[in-house]
Amino acid sequence: MAQGTSTAVVGLQWGDEGKGKLVDLLAPAHHAVVRYNGGANAGHSVVVRGERFSLHLVPSGILHPGVLAVVGNGVVVDPEKLLDEVRGLEARGVDTSGLVLSSRAHVVMPYHKTEDALREEELRTAQDSAAAGRGVLRVGEIGTTKRGIGPAYADKAYRASAIRVGDLLRPDVLAGKVEIACVFKNALFKGLGGSLPPCDPHSLTAALLEQGERLRARIRDTTALLHDMLAQGKRVLFEGGNATLLDVDHGTYPFVTSSSCSALGIGPGTGVPMNRIGSVLGVCKAYCTRVGAGPFPTEQINEAGNRIRERGREYGTTTGRPRRTGWLDLVALRYAVMINGVTGIALTMLDVLAGFDEIPVCVAYERNGERTDRFPPDGHDLREWTPVYERLPGFGQEITGARSRKDLPANAAEYVAYVERAVGVPAQIGSVGPDREQTIHA
């Protein structure tokens, strides 16, 4: 079984479960915190004594001096955004000397962001009039963060014209790749974008070389670095970006992101094999949220949903979009626990549910009289199922001051116990507010 003393922190829903808070809490017990997937689409908030930090590409361990913050090879890095983020942290007195970056990570280019926006616009408009009349299911937009994530991962799979962080230090290789990339992108933009100015390989290359110089000291073979650390008995914490139901293979495809967000992505995204992962902490809210398009069976477009959004301050860390809100979906949660090999859960945002008379939780799905507790493998199929709810008694008191299970009102404690029974793993951590201190340890 597991050899390692390393830990993974992964999101079990559609993102924004509070992974940043959990990583920040656990980081001091580890020697390195490693991001393995996603890019600047992630927004992880850490609140320290009322002061809020929003992290996008920089691992959430950065607030702990002495803990290495590693951007692994599976991440797609927008160098401009990364440099901005580092500058912002340093301006607030954060020591960023522990931040290192894999030379194998891929670069998000300005044309990836343009392509992301163009594709979304095309998806939004292309099938409007045509589809319905022909009995064709309209796909519609994904609702991406427009951070260029999908196009960057697509180019990674295309290979020849994709740019890796290590290329920023090799002018000849970089120039050749950028030149050919511009051929492909300009053809695409001419077809889709019409009036967009073409990409200029010379200015793009010059900008990247300059960014490469600024990042030079941080660029490493992080696979070798992590294996050396593990061989010395050091502890590594893997930080998932995005979340399981947005995983490109296992999420609500096609309404997903473009990387392996679940714990299954740690191997390819860092070079560290699965058997080095000791425990997997799955982070889930006491309810559900989703940003962007796609199926969301327990969504509440009503007073209850609005109340959750306002109490939970459910507005995106990256885009500021209001998050869609709904009740806890135990069908989806059991699936996510299974996919990730979760050993314990962190149940966050419990405080947000205070004041509801009763709290519905989804225990199964129903379709034309058929009932299932299996999560459907396709996002379009998922839309056809409706949730079956069980209603648990609510709790009236605010619980942000609770620091142990004993401090919770009986119905809140029972809600936690119900979730534990339903998913078959213990709640190792409870969270009753954004601050580090507002935490219940099992």
CA distance 28 to 316: 27
The smaller minimum CB distance to Mg ion, of residues 156 and 323, is found at: 323
Based on the residue annotation, tell me whether 44 is a catalytic residue of this protein: yes
Which CA distances in Å does 62 have to 85, 277, 290?
11, 21, 27
- Nearest one of 394, 313, 409, 302 to 355, comparing CA atoms: 394
Evaluate the CA torsion angle 167, 172, 176, 181 in order and state its sign: positive
Residues β-bridged to residue 7: 237, 279
- Catalytic residue (one of 30, 31, 44, 56): 44
Name which position in 317, 325, 431, 438 contacts Mg ion (CB under 5 A).
Answer: 317
CA distance 221 to 292: 35
The smaller minimum CB distance to ligand GDP, of residues 325 and 431, is found at: 431
* Cβ–Cβ < 8 Å for 33, 68: yes
* Cβ–Cβ < 8 Å for 362, 329: yes
3-state secondary structure of 47: strand
* Cβ–Cβ < 8 Å for 418, 3: no
Residue 20 is a binding residue for ligand GDP (CB under 6 A): yes
Cα 122 from chain centroid? Answer: 25
From residue 113 to residue 152, the character string flagging contacts with ligand IMO as x (rule: CB under 6 A) and all else as - is -----------------------------xxxx-x-xx--
Nearest distance from C-beta of residue 40 to ligand IMO, angstroms: 9
Residue 13 is a binding residue for Mg ion (CB under 5 A): no
Residue 16 is a binding residue for ligand IMO (CB under 6 A): yes
What DSSP line would sit under 50-89, residue for residue?
Answer: TEEEEESSS-GGGGSTTSEEEE-TTSEE-HHHHHHHHHHH
3-state secondary structure of 386: strand
Name which position in 102, 186, 244, 348 contacts ligand GDP (CB under 6 A).
Answer: 348
* Count of residues engaged in binding ligand GDP, rule: CB under 6 A: 23
CA angle, 260 as apex, 313 and 264 as ends, to 5°?
Answer: 110
Stretch that binds ligand GDP, among 17-25, 94-102, 123-131, 292-300 (CB under 6 A): 17-25
Q: Which does 361 bind (CB under 5 to 8 A by kind): ligand GDP, Mg ion, ligand IMO, none?
A: none
Residue 16 is a binding residue for Mg ion (CB under 5 A): yes
Q: Two tokens at 130?
A: 């045509």
Q: Which does 371 bind (CB under 5 to 8 A by kind): ligand GDP, Mg ion, ligand IMO, none?
A: none
Q: What is the CB-side half-sphere exposure of residue 226 using CA atoms within 13 A?
A: 31
Residue 326 is a binding residue for ligand GDP (CB under 6 A): no
Residue 251 is a binding residue for ligand GDP (CB under 6 A): no
3-state secondary structure of 77: strand
Nearest distance from C-beta of residue 276 to ligand GDP, angstroms: 23
From residue 43 to residue 62, the character string flagging contacts with ligand GDP as x (rule: CB under 6 A) and all else as - is xxx-x---------------
Based on the residue annotation, tell me whether 167 is a catalytic residue of this protein: no
Residues near ligand GDP (CB under 6 A) are 11, 15-21, 43-45, 47, 312-313, 317, 348-349, 351-352, 431-434
Residues near ligand IMO (CB under 6 A) are 11, 14-16, 41-44, 142-145, 147, 149-150, 241-243, 246, 257-258, 291-292, 317
Q: Which residues are catalytic?
A: 16, 44
